[in-house]
Structure 1
């Protein structure tokens, strides 16, 4: 037998490669997760923007401050000028003026999954930006990170390897036999007013084996375990966003059974579009099989969203045109375009909505923000259409 041109890679060399990779990750996290600090939201809004967000005039806001119904905004110690309103202040104004957009008590919170079995399609980017857009509008949002890669958890300021205990703070205990009976144990506040998080880390991957083992051992239908857990907390929120793993596994199937609605992010290229076609086929056949065991499960809406769109690439334009024709009314009208702003924000474990200062005043940032706002508005309208109490308001706005 002739010798190989390339020498074999030994386990010791793989261990060394893994150690070097961990060193790089540690340095990145040391830069982002400074010891003893917590991520904070530095957004401030002037009175004109506050009035638009609250739905009342700036005159009414000033009057409420003068009358003591609202606290006056903080002032700079040196200049004495107002520093602007925080999102917490905005929500306090909404409460005083009665303009919080919370669902009516008889409406159900929407459980929305951003799902595709292929990675790299913009799933976590959508979850983080849509959740923050809705929080800016005043909705009560819960984000459940179901992906052991924990990208969403990291963006919300938590180091998955240090800050999260998979035995107490992720979905993993809930999926175990004899685990907690509701999800309240895992809920945690975030630095974003109005957003709660159930975090993830690598240990959540063990839940795949736990669920598979329970399927084999138990007579009950464990695929609805996540849905039952969400039912235990949904009264506290207007929308619950699920970020599942990019694979057809037990957790992904649980997400499909738990969700009321699905958005499928799809970049307009041949590989990703083909993967989405396979995803939809697999989802349909798998749900049909699960229906035979656990009963029917319908969705309030299923929409496809073009992501990472580059208008300068003719192939992207052609495939997007084909997607519009094939999926017709099932496509979201808005598009998430390929943007360096998202890449720059992600590199610092941020979102575009968190960027402040000079970087938030560039034309590139404004264009990217417009794309994200358009997606958020469309999701918000779809969410409101699932609430019977919104029928009259939506009709007045010409949205029905």
Structure 2
């Protein structure tokens, strides 16, 4: 049959099967033999930075046998697993004059912080921002739940799962928010390879929530769509300091449910005028829809809203003009730190990895260091917003 006469549904299905097989092969090649990811070890310098201490103090702790020995290379360099980092953090905090100096997560009376990363446009860096924030904050000792509510499931894929295989019909966040016989959220949460991060996965089945909600609204099914996510999270919120949503690139019922469960919003924006114009439409539509759910009784109180500049090229004059435009318009609501456009970030993504997962030796060191410094600046600013929301 020629290209002109082949049925489009058959061609699309054939293409889908081909790419699924290719992705399967890619995952097996990248993470053979079991296709599951493992977190690398960290250098003494990285660990000292994450703990907020000097490298010399870290060496002193080892010399005085105040912390356990760790893996040491033939050249005498120490390398730490994430579990080692967590144990050292516990040890330091137990000896600190002020409890919470090294364990900066929730304390009695602190509410869980629920953060949504969103925008109307695809390619604005929502997933990249979400996973790098989660990983940096997990390495700094926070207990984190990532909730992937994008049916494309990019965040789920980055954690080493194959949503088109592992969660085709069941096992996603959809199971906990669906209208018929929802499961407890704890039953769908998955442990990840990254110490301190759990995942509520996504898959194509999530699209059913968008299709089912209009009928549920007509039939007055309770609780309504905008409360279902918050109710599911309330079952497990005691287990976490932070809950991070990776939202789909559309303003549907899933995004609205996440917004109604959130305490803080990060709107990612690429600094060019087309993206800013798209964001303007997104904000207007969001405001109109949030008015509706607010009038219906949804909670609409946030601790903060920030615009996160993404894929910034510092030497691009027009981009700098757009950034200045946004800062003049939104003032302190534009984050001080921006996420740079980096070949290191995109190259790491080729093997479904992040900058925090890859080895520095795999990249041009200057390129890698610029990317890491950019990400650390953004994520440490996010941490300061969280701490401020807790009154610290």
TM over 0.5: yes
Whether the aligned pair in 2 keeps the contact of 1:51 and 1:61 (CA below 8 Å) is: no
The SS at the match of 2:184 is coil
Q: 1:129 to 1:331 in 2, by over 3 A?
A: same
Match status 1:358 vs 2:355: no
Q: Paired residue for 1:28, among 23, 28, 34?
A: 23
Whether the aligned pair in 2 keeps the contact of 1:176 and 1:211 (CA below 8 Å) is: no
How do 1:102-141 and structure 2 match up within 5 A?
A: 102-141=105-144
Match status 1:39 vs 2:37: yes
The SS at the match of 2:147 is strand
CA distance in structure 1 between the aligned counterparts of 2:134 and 2:339, rounded to whole angstroms: 15
The SS at the match of 2:119 is coil
1:370 is aligned to 373
1:302 is aligned to 305
Q: 1:328 to 1:30 in 2, by over 3 A?
A: same
1:188 is aligned to 190
Q: 1:301 to 1:161 in 2, by over 3 A?
A: same
Instruction: Provide the TM-score with structure 2 as the length reference.
Output: 0.89
Q: How many residue pairs end up in the alignment?
A: 376
User: Offset of 1:80 from its aligned partner?
Assistant: 8.3
Deviates more, 1:142-151 or 1:158-167: 158-167
CA distance in structure 2 between the aligned counterparts of 1:12 and 1:276, rounded to whole angstroms: 37
Provide, for residues 89-108 of structure 1, a one-character-per-residue CA deviation record: whole Å limited to 9, x for no partner. Answer: 01111112212222212101
How do 1:1-400 and structure 2 match up within 5 A?
A: 9-10=4-5, 12-13=7-8, 15-20=10-15, 22-33=17-28, 34=32, 36-46=34-44, 48-55=45-52, 57-63=57-63, 66=65, 70-75=67-72, 79=74, 81=76, 83-98=78-93, 99-167=102-170, 169-180=171-182, 182-220=184-222, 221-360=224-363, 362-388=365-391, 390=392
Whether the aligned pair in 1 keeps the contact of 2:185 and 2:233 (CA below 8 Å) is: yes
Q: 1:205 to 1:10 in 2, by over 3 A?
A: farther
Deviates more, 1:257-266 or 1:348-357: 348-357
User: Offset of 1:232 from its aligned partner?
Assistant: 1.3
2:98 is aligned to none
Q: 1:27 to 1:295 in 2, by over 3 A?
A: closer
Whether the aligned pair in 2 keeps the contact of 1:181 and 1:229 (CA below 8 Å) is: no
User: Offset of 1:9 from its aligned partner?
Assistant: 4.5
User: Offset of 1:175 from its aligned partner?
Assistant: 2.3
Whether the aligned pair in 2 keeps the contact of 1:43 and 1:354 (CA below 8 Å) is: no
Provide, for residues 263-309 of structure 1, a one-character-per-residue CA deviation record: whole Å limited to 9, x for no partner. Answer: 00011112110111111111111111111112441111111111112
1:398 is aligned to none
User: Offset of 1:202 from its aligned partner?
Assistant: 1.3
Instruction: Provide the TM-score with structure 1 as the length reference.
Output: 0.88
The SS at the match of 2:383 is helix
Deviates more, 1:245-254 or 1:13-22: 13-22
Alignment RMSD: 2.2
CA distance in structure 2 between the aligned counterparts of 1:367 and 1:264, rounded to whole angstroms: 23
User: Offset of 1:139 from its aligned partner?
Assistant: 0.9
Q: 1:179 to 1:83 in 2, by over 3 A?
A: farther
Stretches of structure 2 that go unaligned for 5 or more consecutive residues are 94-101
